[in-house]
Amino acid sequence: MNAFSRRGACPALSAPMQTGDGLLVRLNPVAGGISPKLLIGLGESALRHGNGIMEVTARGSLQIRGLTAESARLLAAEVDVLGIAVRSGVPVETGPLAGIDPEEIADPRPLAERVRMAIEEAGLTPRLGPKVSVVVDGGGQLTMDALTADVRLSAVRTGEGVRWCVSVAGDAHGATPLATVDADAARDIAVATLRMVAEKGREAHTRDLSARQLASLAGWHSFAPLSVLPDISPSRGEVIPPARLSPIFSLARGEPTRELPISPLEGEMSGRTERGAQERQPTKSPIGHFDLGERHALGIGLPFGSVPAQPLIELARQGSHLGATEIRLAPGRALLFLGLSSSACDTLRDTAASLGFVTSPTDPRTRIAACPGAPACASGRIATRAIAEEIATESADLLDPSLTLHVSGCAKGCAHPGPSALTLVGDENGAGLVVDGTAKALPAGYRPGYDAARGVAGIAAAVRRERHQGETAAACLARLGAAGIAELYRRN
């Protein structure tokens, strides 16, 4: 196994990953975004050196597919010539409107930079696994709530100004809150947390930390001087939270509490978290029009997260022509064009729609996860994108927000590792249907791959017939049961 073939690794520019359609590189510009001209240059490089497929991932990284070892080197050299500095090290991610959104609670970029520097100074990058990540979320119109991370620092308003809620191991709804503190303390706790993870080995994540370790992280900063930070470790630095005050604020009143009403860990265990007090809006789709004061931003989605490079080049050209100054990559498989007038947003949206991009957050394609599949990926047993397009057209009403459908070329399930209500997966028997499971599960029924969308249309027709008023598609499917759904899929 060479450096190009280690699965699960982050395929940065210098270490591409082997996939079914050749090598894949993933890159994140240091500046968060790039100019339209640079995106055009990257698209042309992808056409020259890869198979011309470009992707934006669910976490907002740009991927170029279909490279060879030699062409990956040439691509890396061209990225250098274009002057695009790409991030390496532990990902410390900020939102796509960071620093330019008048609605954000705080610009997260300075704190993110300090966390990055502290991680480097502590020498943690080589000791942490490639999927360990930190999110620094300033709030606003596009939060990072849906992204899971090992450490989350989320801005909150308090009577004493902006503070950062530190939580670990999850998305905004599932992460375990530790403390709400100022920026210095948030950075220190973040680095102390990652140090504990590093002590457990390169496969470890914050979910592997013990309750005792989390308790020490939640409480230590209220009395530990900064100088002891490098010594905190599972074996040497575990401390019991002090009896005196913790730096957790009563956000409802906007004042520091005189006593901690419930420990953050107990709060999580009993289902209560600090989240209710965080003044955060629900996660919003990055697709659509965003008012940024004097200028506007337009979010455009890539259907199923990928497009051929040529339409992307054309879209960037039109964006540049209309005055876009920067294009940022957004979690949720989207691109944000910044610096536009309101009328330019409308014109660019029309262009994007005509080129096949997703221009509405309610587009049924946003409810489907589909990997490149056959023929783009050599491991693919079904034409995932064609099946997904057909389902989005024929069975759109099945795809309400309660339901995610996954179309996977094989059991690896690259596009959506977690369970979905319905998963179509290709194998030697055709297109299998998994109900409420992952692509790795045993399918409950099969159809020929070319005919898979018709099986889903059968399920959609049954949901249309059987659905009670106000019932979601997911709830209706649960009533129909896995065996009934598999039978509908097989016989339509």
Residues that bind ligand SF4 (CB under 6 A): 20, 371-373, 377, 379-380, 408-410, 412-414
What does the block give as tokens for 265?
Answer: 């860990």
Helix intervals (H) in 13-168: 36-49, 69-82, 109-121
Closest alpha carbon to 360 in 281, 415, 282, 289? 289
Angstrom distance (rounded) from CA 203 to CA 201: 6
CB of 450 to ligand SF4, least distance (A): 16
- Looking up tokens 């709400």, which residue turns up? 180
Q: Which is nearer to ligand SF4, 296 or 406 (CB)?
A: 406
Closest alpha carbon to 67 in 50, 52, 44? 50
Q: Which residues contact 16 (CB under 8 A, 6 or more apart)?
A: 4, 23, 24, 25, 67, 69, 72
CB of 39 to ligand SF4, least distance (A): 24
Distances from the Cα of 219 to the Cαs of 191, 210, 241, 383, in angstroms? 15, 14, 4, 52
CB of 332 to ligand SF4, least distance (A): 19
Residue of closest CB approach to ligand SF4:
409
Asked whether 411 and 371 are in contact (CB, 8 A), the reply is: no
Closest alpha carbon to 387 in 458, 451, 460, 303? 451
CB of 4 to ligand SF4, least distance (A): 15
Q: Which is nearer to ligand SF4, 83 or 417 (CB)?
A: 417
Strand (E) or helix (H) holding 157: strand 149-158
Angstrom distance (rounded) from CA 397 to CA 301: 20
Angstrom distance (rounded) from CA 304 to CA 56: 9
Closest alpha carbon to 214 in 172, 252, 267? 267
For residue 359, the SS3 value is coil
Q: Which is nearer to ligand SF4, 96 or 372 (CB)?
A: 372
Q: Which is nearer to ligand SF4, 63 or 154 (CB)?
A: 63
Q: Which is nearer to ligand SF4, 63 or 359 (CB)?
A: 63
Q: Which is nearer to ligand SF4, 39 or 56 (CB)?
A: 56
Q: What is the DSSP letter of 282?
A: P
Q: Which is nearer to ligand SF4, 392 or 414 (CB)?
A: 414
Angstrom distance (rounded) from CA 104 to CA 427: 46
Q: Which is nearer to ligand SF4, 456 or 477 (CB)?
A: 456
Q: Which is nearer to ligand SF4, 294 or 428 (CB)?
A: 428
